[in-house]
Amino acid sequence: MIRIGVIGQSGEIPAETCLLAEEIGKEIALRGAILLTGGTSGVMGAVSRGAKQANGLVVGILPGDTVEVANEYIDIPITTGLSFDYRSLILVHSSDVIIMIAGGNGTLGELSAAYLNRKPVVIVEASGGWASRVRGMAYDGSYLDERKWVKLDYANTAKEALDIAMSRSRAREMPINNKDINIDSE
């Protein structure tokens, strides 16, 4: 099964962003993929709710050592014992493809981690936050730096985001030549 990680901010989010996140969660479930999130509130809660409404499987990669921070839609809570930023690395590494919805600073860090680890990313521009600004700052509108490791994809609807995500995750099944990887954090 394809593992789709959804990144986006926690806490209060606009109603339009919430609705779009729920639609994306439903679409993930309807396509038979597993949803992975940071497991808490905001975008993560909304996308989890949508996936559960369509009988999907929802995995929460949680910060800290307690499941009490998980939203009520999480089927499999995974406590990491780590802070939010390090928990996010586990989410990125555990996903076949990432979908970015809205987002604040933490989400921007997750996007960078996905790029550094050559994970396909679908950015839902219509969701607001950093997702609506990335294209304008990206190299050629599609890369996070001049190395052009992984082309960023953009979508505006749930169906469009999932069409791209499913296609990119299947294409990713091709092996990477590890000697060509030169990851740095700058």
Is 139 in contact with 148 (CB distance < 8 Å)? yes
Res 164 pLDDT > 60? yes
Of 128-137, 140-149, 162-171, 176-185, minimum mean pLDDT range: 176-185
pLDDT (average), residues 174-179: 49
DSSP H or E run through 124? strand 121-124
* Long-range contacts formed by 110-118: CB under 8 A, 24+ apart: 110/7, 111/7, 111/144, 112/144, 113/88, 113/89, 114/5, 114/7, 114/150, 115/144, 115/145, 115/149, 115/150, 115/152, 116/149, 116/183, 116/185, 117/92, 117/93, 117/183, 118/149, 118/150, 118/176, 118/181
> Residue 144: what residue type?
L
Strand partners, 77: 60
Of 87-96, 111-120, 141-150, 177-186, minimum mean pLDDT range: 177-186
Q: Dihedral of the CA atoms 169, 175, 178, 180 (nearest 10)?
A: -80
> Residue 29: what residue type?
A
pLDDT (average), residues 126-148: 96
Q: Which of 167, 166, 151 is nearest to 24 (CA)?
A: 166
Specify the pLDDT at position 28: 98
Phi (first) and psi of residue 37, to 5 degrees: -140, 175
Confidence of residue 185 (pLDDT cuts 50, 70, 90): very low
Specify the pLDDT at position 184: 53
Specify the pLDDT at position 105: 94
| Percent of the chain whose predicted confidence (pLDDT) is above 90 | 90
Res 177 pLDDT > 80? no
DSSP H or E run through 77? strand 76-79
| Percent of the chain whose predicted confidence (pLDDT) is above 70 | 92
Average pLDDT, the chain: 93
pTM for the model? 0.91
